[in-house]
Amino acid sequence: STTIKKLYREHESFEDKQVKLSGWIRTLRSSKSFGFIELNDGTFFKNAQIVFDEALSNFKEIEKLPISTSITVEGKVVLTPNAKQPFEIKADNIIVEGTSSSDYPLQKKKHSFEYLRTIAHLRPRSNTFSAVFRVRSLAAFAIHKFFQERGFVYVNSPIITGSDCEGAGQMFRVTTLDLDNLPRTQDGQIDVKEDFFGKTTSLTVSGQLEAEVFALSFRNVYTFGPTFRAENSNTPRHAAEFWMIEPEIAFAELKDDMELAEDMVKYIINYVMENAPEEMEFFNNFIDNTLFDRLNNVVNSEFGHVTYTEAIEILKKSGQQFEYPVEWGIDLQTEHERYLTEKVFKKPVFVTDYPKKIKAFYMRLNDDNKTVAAMDLLVPGVGEIIGGSQREERLDVLERRIKELGMDVKDYWWYLELRKYGGTKHAGFGLGFERMIMYLTGMSNIRDVIPFPRTPGNAEF
Ligand code: 4AD
Ligand code: MG
């Protein structure tokens, strides 16, 4: 048996050949003596057209099959150079593998993405989601390929962790306790000190600290795994569970970090454009018709650079009414980020050197003592897709920062030892994988680029 993907890619070599395909009926129409099936076999974004007629012994059964029935077709490939599809298959045998009920929810009419979220178990069968999840898979591969080609070592950072990398208090606690039967003191108070085999643990918000460990022995490393944030934010860009790619490079500064990020983003776009042309065309035609222009612009341009302080000035002078007022010291909100990248730079832009007050403890303090060597990459349509920094490699400065933020140096003893034993300047960043997929596809809600999104009120599947 062959696949629809192979037939599309090599249809000429299949001319008049006998093939066997298994898949699901996407559409079926028939008249008295013949009919057409659009068959999808899961291997390709597009369907194969099957032509069948009365010569089939089970013609009467086949012509009444509901959408989504799974079938196996044997027949001859006929090239159709003037038709929409380059070939069709003239069936001489169709076997029903599994029937479908006529109330199948994905009928031909277009459904809203909101509705499709409620049927996350069926939506991968729709055109849009078939394209999204294929691109997601390819992009993941492209990322591994990019780093592996450059000799980076892939590190698996732990999911369950004892440290809070971002210090933002957004961690999901992990516990072995039976929450319905918590240990109590004699006067009925809850009596819990440690909840995971003698330790307080949570789901990781970032694999960065562990990536730093490995960067200081392998030089160039990256993580690629799930991360978790217990933030109750209902935005199209935040999920409680998302995947992050976190490279970490030793003997490197912020400038090297940004170069790596820019190369990576361009590489992913090029790879996906080249290897998923049908899916990308679909996105450009039906989801966002500025997509190709935008992506072409990205791969052919040099990303912009602006310091946080300059960005604040630009925003203040813009004359734009922002919902959240602009002042030096604020954390840039999505509206500010999008204004900068969409209206001012009209391409991806790195914002650097943020106030230390709004950034994490590990970022390298600049000489002004007010800002840190941080960078965020903002892109049109999405806003922040990358957050990174040069790391504080000076032991005394780092200890001071940790204390300043009210954290306990004891909790970071191993992290501090990296500075004690052969520390060096190093840097890294985190790419939000889902935000990258949104950027690649033009999809505007993070719930629609995750197979089973975890957002407030969304954990059914
Ligand atoms: O900016 P963040 O919080 O940076 C870090 O976690 C660093 N430790 C990364 C590093 O330097 N190694 O997160 C990095 C990226 C963001 O730019 C964003 O794309 C994504 O992760 N992100 C989220 N994506 C979806 N839902 C959320 N709740 C996200 N929070 C962050
Ligand atoms: Mg960030």
- What ipTM does the predicted assembly reach? 0.99
pLDDT tens readout for residues 113-140: 999 999 999 999 999 999 999 999 999 9
Cβ(383) – ligand 1 distance below 6 Å: no
The pLDDT assigned to 175 comes to 84
DSSP code at position 253: -
Does 112 score more than 80 pLDDT?
yes
- Residue 349 CA to residue 260 CA, distance in Å, equals 14
pLDDT tens readout for residues 45-100: 999 999 999 999 999 999 999 999 999 999 999 999 999 999 999 999 999 999 99
Cβ(165) – ligand 1 distance below 6 Å: yes
- Residue 211 CA to residue 220 CA, distance in Å, equals 9
Protein residues with C-beta less than 5 angstroms from the ion ligand 2:
387
Residue nearest to atom 31 of ligand 1 (CA): 432
Does 358 score more than 90 pLDDT?
yes
What share of the chain has pLDDT > 90, as a percent? 87
Q: Which ligand is nearest the CA of 429, by number?
A: 1
The model's pTM is 0.95
The pLDDT assigned to 211 comes to 98
Does 195 score more than 70 pLDDT?
no
Roughly how many angstroms between the first and final C-alpha of the chain, as a whole number? 33
What share of the chain has pLDDT > 70, as a percent? 99
Q: Which tokens belong to 212?
A: 């730093």
Residue nearest to atom 9 of ligand 1 (CA): 430
422: Cα within 13 Å, side-chain hemisphere: 10
Residue nearest to atom 18 of ligand 1 (CA): 432
State the pLDDT confidence band at 201, using cuts at 50, 70 and 90.
Answer: confident
Tell which residue, 28, 24, 27, has the closest CA to residue 69: 24
Q: Which tokens belong to 338?
A: 């999008």
Taking the centre of ligand 1 as the mean of its atom positions, its distance from the CA of residue 448, in whole angstroms, is 18
Residue nearest to atom 29 of ligand 1 (CA): 238
